[in-house]
Amino acid sequence: MSNLLLHLYVAILDTAALLAWPVEKLKHGIIAMSQLRELENVSEERLMLIESVNLKKVSPNQESIVKAKEAASNSGDLTKLSDVDIDLIALSFQLDEELFTDDYRIQNTLTKAGKTWSSVIQKGITGVWVWLQICTGCGISKPSDLNKKESICSHCGSPLKLKKKKR
């Protein structure tokens, strides 16, 4: 895609924007190809309407997907992000454009990576999140092992739950 053509498109749009915004506001937005399947599952009618809008549909390149996964791993959000979420984050790296999203984990990943985002409808996060693992038995907390989905407390053997702590 030529740089001149890309400059006609001004922002990456999360599925929340595709569902909530009026069609006129979506014009010249950028979406991930994977969002089309997600949107079809949520609202076939909205998908048909969105297909008629001048959106640029892009599949992120492999290098940007790797960067997105590294950023999500560094923020502690990787295990809770969908493939579509990773594609959107990857597009923000690849195209260096603002991403409109109400997903707090995407916002946290982008904030920590120094990328630009704006909310669609919600207020959005106000600071970077740090994840803690809290024991459901004895209550001991420790910094999260960022990429483990489940863990057991080394002190009492009870399950650990993930909890965010704002910095």
pLDDT in tens, 73-109: 888 888 889 999 999 999 999 999 999 999 999 999 9
Residue 167 pLDDT class (50, 70, 90 cuts): low
Residue 145 pLDDT class (50, 70, 90 cuts): low
CA 124/CA 40 separation, integer angstroms:
26
What would the two tokens of residue 73 be?
């791993």
- Say what the pLDDT of residue 32 is: 97
Which range marks the domain in which residue 142 is found?
129-166
Task: Give a yes or no: residue 7 inside a domain.
Answer: yes
- Say what the pLDDT of residue 7 is: 46
- Say what the pLDDT of residue 85 is: 98
Candidates 120, 40, 143; CA nearest to 84 is 40
Both 92 and 32 in one domain: the answer is: yes
- Say what the pLDDT of residue 143 is: 63
pTM of this structure: 0.78
Q: Which of 118, 139, 154 is the last residue in one of the domains?
A: 118
CA 35/CA 106 separation, integer angstroms:
15
Q: What percent of the chain has pLDDT over 90?
A: 52
Task: Give a yes or no: residue 37 inside a domain.
Answer: yes
**Which amino acid type is present at position 3?**
N
Upper half-sphere CA count for residue 49 (Cβ side, 13 Å): 14
CATH number of 102's domain: 3.40.50.1010
Both 72 and 151 in one domain: the answer is: no
